[in-house]
Structure 1
Amino acid sequence: MSMMGEMTFFLGLQVNQSPRGIFINQSNYVLEILKKYGMEACDPVGTPMEIKDKLDLDQNGSPVDATKYRSMIGALMYLTSSRPDIVHATCLCARYQAKPTEKHLKEVKRIFRYLRGTVNTGLWYTKDSGIELTGFSDADYAGCKDTFKSTSGGAQFLGEKLVSWSSKKQDCTALSTAEAEYVSLSVCCAQVLWMRTQLTDYGFHFNKIPIYCDSKSAIAISCNPVQHSRTKHIAVRYHFIKEHVEMGTIELYFVKTDYQLADLFTKALPVDRFNYLVRRLGMRSLSPKELERLAKSQ
């Protein structure tokens, strides 16, 4: 090992450290991939995904070059390590890598058009904020048009700082919104418990970790120690959340959908709602000049 001074660059991540906080982004990489796929002069758009119709297999669509499509998805996947705002759109397009059509390619290009207008966006970690562990869990019921499986979305925070996020199609087919939310809660719980174990190594001990969910039914299922006949069909591996609620490791709280931060990871959203959530997740757009000013500030 060698001491190379303060970290400014790591595996494509640009790290700007200043007295006020740390800014992590991948603006150089964004410019690089926009140039690689001939999108550097495209018109920017406000969101990475249109609301109107959800993607499907598009059996009768015109096929496109699958190698190029997969290459574009791979490039975007690498970008998601500092850009939670494109996670859902990228993961959704990634489901159609086997037989991509023009419809799918158009959606991928839309993500690039969104990036064109948000090159300098990244995660801003302020210096003065707490270190409490919290989680947000959400689900989009039967969101997949091909399999009718739901999409789980999760976000985990340390204080006000977003440190972990996910958007994933559920393995099982949920029979109700409550069940989809319950499965998503379990996934979020597993991630929070893993983070809790990791943080123990650094001397932080957490109990009664709050997880916020916008489904009262899912919370009721989790807090009821009796296995109800209506929940027996849910895979056993999702029921471990009940134990942790009983033990007091985690606590579940209801949050209105308006304030559900994980909403961003489950579906396409209107511009205003999208921008509100991006801001609440701690993402900012800081140009190189603004970063210079920050570095000089006290």
Structure 2
Amino acid sequence: MTSNDRGTRLAGQVALVVGGGRGIGAAVVETLARNGARVVAADTDRLPSAYNHYRSTAVTGYAEARELAVRLAAEGMAVTAAEVDATDEDAVRRLYQGVADGPGRLDTVVNAFGVTHVSPVERMELAEFRHVVSGNLDGVFLSSREALPLLRASGGGSIVNFSSVSGRSGFAKVAHYCAAKFGVVGFTAALAQEVAKENIRVNAVCPGMVRTGMWDYLLSEFVRPGETEDECWERMRAMVPQREFQTPEDIADLVLYLAAAPRVTGQAISVDGGMTAP
């Protein structure tokens, strides 16, 4: 899809993308908007802990969501920005109340946020474990819970949660991240069972190696002594059977499919170039 392509697949629908300010989340916002949805891009400028790939509590998610909304609105798309820390229960409630008071309906929720941090288990602090798990899993629960009444009132809809290849396979030095992302897959499958008869579908996407800020951080942690960054990237690329990294747009295309697929629920689908193939 080019920057000028527009579709009507989601015309008349409202989508909320939590974590929509940057990276894959921003690509999801743009893809849904270009397919006719009215989109709320929610993100935060402050995280509760520095145990993350930004190495700071100060981030720019909400600021970038505002910039994205302005850019897409200038092209005629219905995109607005909202501020939320997905791990803050009151903030998540306010976010969904804003959707109820504003657009007044909800058809698709995408929980596209996540943080990672590198540490071997033997040196990992309990606080680090808890913050990384919370940063990836608590918000999926809170956002999904608050979404259900609005989706039900709209006659059904789609929840898409972000897991990872680390939710399908274990990787050294990110055990807390793997635990959380495996948890997202389990939560997704269980919730799908609960709400299937209400025409609410719940699925997970499992991105592979996408060259966003998170993977830039991981590269800096996993580069070997004497190895250049380019050599490290090539070593990473060799882990992918297709020998190509995925793009934010690759993941966004799957989210678009899941937003509209009426008979797909309870699935965790990888977009990873074959990394987690059986």
TM-score (normalised: structure 2) = 0.29
- Tell me: higher relative CO, structure 1 or 2? Use CA pairs within 8 A at least 6 residues apart: 1
Please tell me whether Structure 1 or Structure 2 has the larger radius of gyration of its CA atoms: 1
| TM-score of the aligned structures, taking structure 1 as reference length | 0.28
Query: Which of the pair is proportionally richer in strand?
Result: 1
